[in-house]
Amino acid sequence: MNKVTIQDLIVLAKEELKGLQLCDDYLDFYHHSAFQPISTFYHKKSELFYRPELMDELRSHYQKLFYLGTISQKTLCWRLRGLGILNEVYKTGGFAWKVFSTKKESLLSSYFKKILTEFLTSLGNICRIGIYRSIVERYLLFLTTHGHCTIERVSPVDIRSFIVDMSTCRPKTMDDVVTVLRKLHTYLREEELLDIRFEPVLFAPRARDRKVLPCFSSEEINLILKQVNTKTPVGKRDFAIIQLGICTGLRAGDIVNLKLTDVDWKNSEIHVIQGKTKQPLSLPLEVRAGNAIIDYILNGRPKSESPYIFLRSLAPYQKFYDGVSVACVLRRYLKRAGIIHTVGDGKTFHGLRRTLGTEMVVQGIPITTVSQVLGHHSPEAAKQYVSLDTNGLKQCALSFSTIGEVRV
C-alpha cells in the first residue's frame, strides 16, 4: 500500500471489521480501545501518515506502560491488537480474522534473554511457568533500566528495590515475586553467575495484608432486586442468579457451572463440586431462590440441550463463559440502582457471599457452621465475617472508665 494517513487506515480497518459482521457496539469498542489511542499518539507527534517505525515505538511505549502498572493486561492486549490490525491492513490491504497473541514482546537484551531462557529450562515442566517467566522478565528489565548490562554487579539493594517497586504496582503478587526471586538467585549461585547474600532480603518474614472488605446492606440488596424486570426471559435469569448469590453465597464460577441435575428438588438442596476447592458442597435451597430458578427454567430459559441451568440469552444458547459474566450481571443492576462501585468497596458479586456470611455471624450462628455453608477449607477463612459484625465487636470493647484501674 502506498502512503496513507493513519486516519484513512483506521477507516479501512473498521470497514474490514464491519465486513466480518461484528455488531456496532463491538465496533465502537474497537474504535475506542484499539484505534483511538493510536490516533492520539500520531496527533501528539504531529504525524499524519502511517509509519512502521512509529508503530514500533508505540508498541514499546505500551509495553513500558504495562510494566509500570499504568495500564492493565487487558488494555495492553487491546492496544496491541489495534497495532496488529493496522499493520496487516497496511501491508496486505485487508484483514483476516484471527486471535492475536497476547504475549508481549520482550524488551530484554540478548544477554538477559539467555539467562531467562536457561533459568526457565532448569525448572523443568512446572504448571506455573508463565508466572515465573513474567516475574523474572520484569526483574531483569528492572535491572536493565537501573544501569545493569550484566548480572555481575547486582546487589541485595537491587533486589530490595525491585520488591518495593513491585509492591506498589502489583501488591497481590508479592508471594509469587519472593518465591521466584529465591529460585532465580539460587540458580544464579549454582551456575556461578552471581553469588551474593540474598537470604536476608528474600527470606525475611513479612506481615500479611488482611484487608476486610465491606458487604452490601439489606437496603442495597432490596434496591438491586427492584431493578430486575422479572417479566422478561433475561430478567428471570438475572433475578434467579442474584437470588442464588444472596441465599446460598455460591461463588460466581460455581453458579456458572450449576447443572440442572445439581438441584435436588425433592429435598430442596443443591449439590455442587466447588470450582475453587474441588470439594463437594451441599446447601439448602431457600424458597426465594428456588422459586426464581423454577420461574426461569419454565418461563425464561431458551430451549437447549445444554445441561447447565443458566444460559446466554442469544444464540447459540450456551452457558456463560466464566464467573466474570455473572459478575457483570450484578454490575448492570448496581448501575441501574445508582450504587457506585469503586475498587475495594466490596460491591461485587463476591460481596453477596460476604453479606450472607456476615448476616449469619450477626444472627449468632457459629463460625464453624458459617465456614461449612460457604464451603471453606477451615473456619479460619470465615473469621473475616466476625470483623464485619461491627455491633458485635462493640460489645467486646472496654469502656474508657476502666483505664487506670488496678486489677488484682
* CATH, residue 29: 1.10.150
> Which residue among 133, 251, 319, 354 is the active-site one?
251
| Pair type for strands 280-284 and 263-264 | unpaired
User: Is 383 annotated as catalytic?
Assistant: no
Nearest of 253, 272, 235 to residue 325 by alpha carbon:
253
Query: Has residue 401 been placed in a domain?
Result: no
Same-domain check for residues 189 and 226: no
Residues 107, 140 contacting (CB under 8 angstroms): no
Domain boundary among 39, 60, 92: 92
Same-domain check for residues 231 and 355: yes
> Which amino acid is present at 201?
V
pLDDT for the residue numbered 101: 41
Residue span of the structural domain in which 255 resides:
218-393
* CATH, residue 363: 1.10.443.10
Type and span of the H or E element at 269: strand 269-273
pLDDT mean over 48-76: 85
Q: Based on the number of CB atoms within 10 Å of its own CB, is 78 exposed (0-12), middle (13-18) or buried (19 or more)?
A: buried
> Which residue among 14, 319, 353, 354 is the active-site one?
353
> Which residue among 237, 301, 347, 350 is the active-site one?
350
Q: Is it the case that residue 223 has pLDDT exceeding 50?
A: yes
- Write out the E strands in 316-357: none
Give the whole-angstrom CA distance, residue 51 versus residue 254. 48
Same-domain check for residues 154 and 274: no
Query: Has residue 105 been placed in a domain?
Result: no
pLDDT for the residue numbered 325: 87
Same-domain check for residues 128 and 74: no
**377-398 as b/e, with b when 16 or more CB fall inside 10 Å?**
eeeeebbbbbebbeeeeeeeee
Same-domain check for residues 246 and 385: yes
Give the whole-angstrom CA distance, residue 354 versus residue 345. 12
User: Is 148 annotated as catalytic?
Assistant: no
Same-domain check for residues 225 and 369: yes
Same-domain check for residues 31 and 119: no
Query: Has residue 354 been placed in a domain?
Result: yes
Query: Has residue 290 been placed in a domain?
Result: yes
Same-domain check for residues 231 and 336: yes
Q: Is it the case that residue 172 has pLDDT exceeding 70?
A: no
Number of independent structural domains in the chain: 3
User: Is 376 annotated as catalytic?
Assistant: yes
> Which residue among 14, 81, 236, 376 is the active-site one?
376
Query: Has residue 100 been placed in a domain?
Result: no
Same-domain check for residues 229 and 336: yes
Same-domain check for residues 44 and 119: no
Query: Has residue 99 been placed in a domain?
Result: no
Query: Has residue 98 been placed in a domain?
Result: no
User: Is 182 annotated as catalytic?
Assistant: no
User: Is 385 annotated as catalytic?
Assistant: yes
> Which residue among 103, 276, 332, 336 is the active-site one?
276
The sign of the CA dihedral 354, 381, 267, 237 is positive
pLDDT in tens, 14-51: 888 887 766 677 778 888 889 999 999 999 999 999 99
pLDDT in tens, 268-305: 999 999 988 888 999 999 999 999 999 999 999 999 99
Same-domain check for residues 253 and 386: yes
Q: What Cα–Cα distance (Å) separates residue 315 from each residue in 231, 311, 323, 359?
A: 20, 10, 19, 39
Query: Has residue 103 been placed in a domain?
Result: no
What does pLDDT average to over the chain? 85
* CATH, residue 129: 1.10.150.130
> Which residue among 62, 67, 139, 385 is the active-site one?
385
Same-domain check for residues 44 and 181: no
Lowest mean pLDDT among 200-214, 280-294, 339-353, 388-402: 388-402
3-class DSSP assignment, residue 326: helix
User: Is 276 annotated as catalytic?
Assistant: yes
